[in-house]
């Protein structure tokens, strides 16, 4: 337990101390929220879909958590580069606990970041359907954060340096974001698109968040929870396996 | 304390360490010397559970690093050739994190952390983030960290690389003091032969993966008819320069072989 706690605490301290990173990672959701939100708002309204900011906000929260958690997972690469990874690997600790501690720490920072974005969304005019929905929204944030931190960790175990990061960004993370329905409704899409969006784990996160905050879920929140929980477990298992294989 | 017999490690085609045998007694300061690429770091990695030997046996305090990993890990401390501190954390936090990972009770790690930071003259800077530290301070902090869990052996892989003479002297004085006070066995590598001469009780010289000489510094000098350990070292290993890393493709192949060769 101490092991998980101390590594969780380390991730948190690193997060709180890197204020430029906190601010930088808010730039993107702000841009989308105000640029897209207000830009496409009138069209969205005319198409009979209602208030775009209201629709977009859960997507932005999902996006923020996606980026922050993948990045905290990939931070393992920095640990390798700056040598701290070796310190962890020679410690008399099961690798599984090290991996869980790191992942929970990374996930916690992503949840913080998501919470800040909720506040920004509210300032932009977003109104959650009811306050009682918030605990449910929080559950989705937690699952999405754990899922993608574990994915980031897995990626970092496979890559050996930052060179491959651009590729991961372009071919994995951006598609996960765009295909999740964070920006557009998933109804009436061409079949190919529909299949792709169904494979994307973030789809269920965004759908669940919309269900909790706006009361409009496509798949039903129970189903979303189940899918996310399942994938989070699988990713944790793969991440732990990869992490136990790395060498200093 | 350390007993190595017929130790061999191959990465694909390359034999990094071949048939190496030596012993280090409890409380001894043992210097493991050799030119670049001779197999020093590979040997240390095997001794410290980071690599599995291809063949041969290792005993650390009677335990086998390949099979009793966690038990062995509790018994040694290590200062790697490259830095391994968390730059964003303070000196004290780095120690505390280490202590927690090594199951040192909170009270003990605070007390021992304090005495080690004082010994290595870092106590005044304990709450500063490590990224503000100089190379020498980082090195001292790493050694303090390696000793926090009161290990029986400490491995120091080129701990004085890139430090000025003042810092180096001070660092070895502190290591010697701890060796005398706590009877901690010290296994070190260095390229500064004068350091090994002054600090080490016994020396082994490794070249091309095999041990070419072992003994006290005086014995090695006598054996080669040299006045200094450096001359003895050159007499034993020749004076040709090892072009390690000159070919980046070979480097990559070695890396790939290392990744593959973990089993």
Burial of residue B129 (CB within 10 Å: 0-12, 13-18, 19+) is middle
* Chain A residues inside the 8 Å CB shell of B255: 160
Q: Which residue has the tokens 């996960």?
A: A176
**ipTM for the predicted complex:** 0.86
* Mutation choice for B interface testing from A15, A76, A90, A163 by most B CBs within 10 A: A90
What pLDDT score does B248 carry? 54
What tokens were used for B104? 């040192």
Rounded to whole angstroms, how far apart are CA atoms B150 and B115?
12
B52: Cβ contacts below 8 Å, ≥ 6 apart: B46, B66, B262, B263
What pLDDT score does A116 carry? 93
Q: Are the CB atoms for A74 and A107 separated by under 8 Å?
A: no
**Residue B27 sits at the chain A interface (C-beta within 8 Å):** no
pLDDT greater than 80 at residue B252: no
- A10/B98 touch (CB, cutoff 8 Å), yes or no: no
pLDDT, tens digit only, all 248 positions of chain A: 889 999 999 999 999 998 888 888 888 888 888 888 888 889 999 988 889 999 999 999 999 999 999 999 888 988 888 889 999 999 999 999 999 999 999 999 999 999 999 999 999 889 988 888 889 999 999 999 999 999 999 999 988 777 788 888 889 999 999 999 999 998 889 999 999 999 999 999 999 999 999 988 889 999 999 999 999 999 999 999 999 888 75
Domains for chain B: give ranges and CATH numbers.
Answer: 2-260 (3.40.50.300)
Q: Per-residue pLDDT tens for B72-107?
A: 999 999 999 888 999 999 999 999 999 999 999 999
Of A18, A84, A92, the CB nearest to B74: A92
pLDDT greater than 50 at residue B262: no
Q: What is the largest CA-CA distance in chain B?
A: 53
- A92/B101 touch (CB, cutoff 8 Å), yes or no: yes
Rounded to whole angstroms, how far apart are CA atoms B199 and B214?
16
Q: Are the CB atoms for B142 and B79 separated by under 8 Å?
A: yes
pLDDT greater than 50 at residue B263: no
Of A90, A247, A248, the CB nearest to B73: A90
């Amino acid at each position: 337990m101490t092991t998980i706690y101390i590594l969780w605490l380390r991730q948190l301290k690193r997060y709180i101390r890197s204020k430029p990173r906190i601010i930088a990672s808010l730039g993107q959701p702000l841009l989308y929220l105000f640029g897209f939100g207000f830009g496409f708002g009138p069209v969205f309204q005319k198409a009979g879909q209602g208030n775009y900011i209201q629709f977009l906000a859960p997507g932005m929260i999902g996006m923020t958590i996606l980026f922050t958690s993948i990045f905290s997972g990939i931070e393992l690469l920095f640990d390798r580069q700056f040598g701290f990874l070796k310190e962890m690997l020679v410690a008399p600790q099961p690798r599984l606990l090290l991996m869980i501690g790191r992942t929970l720490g990374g996930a916690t920072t992503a949840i913080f970041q998501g919470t800040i974005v909720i506040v920004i969304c509210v300032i932009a005019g977003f109104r959650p359907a009811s306050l009682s929905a918030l605990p449910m929204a929080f559950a989705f944030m937690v699952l999405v954060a754990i899922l993608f931190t574990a994915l980031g960790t897995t990626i970092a175990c496979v890559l050996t340096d930052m060179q491959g990061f651009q590729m991961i960004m372009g071919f994995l993370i951006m598609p996960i974001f765009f295909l999740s329905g964070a920006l557009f409704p998933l109804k009436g899409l061409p079949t190919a698109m529909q299949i792709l969006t169904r494979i994307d784990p973030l789809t269920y996160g965004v759908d669940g968040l919309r269900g909790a905050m706006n009361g409009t879920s496509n798949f039903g929140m129970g189903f979303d929870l189940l899918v996310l929980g399942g994938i989070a477990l699988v990713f944790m298992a793969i991440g732990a396996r990869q992490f136990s294989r790395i060498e200093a | 304390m350390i007993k190595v017999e017929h130790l061999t490690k191959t990465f694909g085609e390359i034999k990094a360490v071949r048939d190496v045998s030596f012993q280090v007694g409890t409380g001894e300061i043992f210097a493991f010397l050799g030119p670049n690429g001779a197999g020093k770091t590979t040997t240390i990695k095997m001794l410290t559970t980071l690599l599995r030997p291809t063949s041969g046996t290792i005993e650390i305090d009677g335990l086998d690093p390949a099979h009793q990993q966690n038990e062995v890990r509790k018994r040694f401390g290590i200062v790697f050739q490259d830095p391994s501190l968390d730059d964003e954390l303070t000196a004290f936090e780095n120690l505390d994190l280490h202590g927690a990972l090594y199951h040192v009770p909170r009270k003990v790690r605070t007390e021992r952390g304090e005495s080690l930071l004082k010994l290595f003259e870092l106590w005044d800077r304990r709450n500063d983030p490590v990224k503000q530290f100089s190379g020498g301070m980082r090195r001292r902090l790493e050694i303090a960290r390696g000793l926090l869990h009161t290990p029986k052996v400490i491995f120091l892989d080129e701990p004085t690389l890139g430090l000025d003479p003042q810092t180096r002297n001070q660092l070895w004085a502190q290591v010697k003091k701890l060796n005398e006070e706590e009877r901690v066995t010290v296994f070190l590598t260095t390229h500064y032969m004068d350091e090994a001469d002054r600090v080490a009780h016994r020396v082994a010289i490794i070249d091309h993966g095999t041990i070419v000489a072992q003994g006290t510094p005086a014995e090695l000098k006598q054996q080669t008819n040299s006045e200094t350990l450096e001359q003895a070292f050159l007499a034993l290993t020749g004076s040709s320069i090892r072009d390690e890393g000159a070919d980046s493709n070979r480097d990559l192949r070695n890396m790939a072989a290392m990744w593959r060769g973990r089993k």
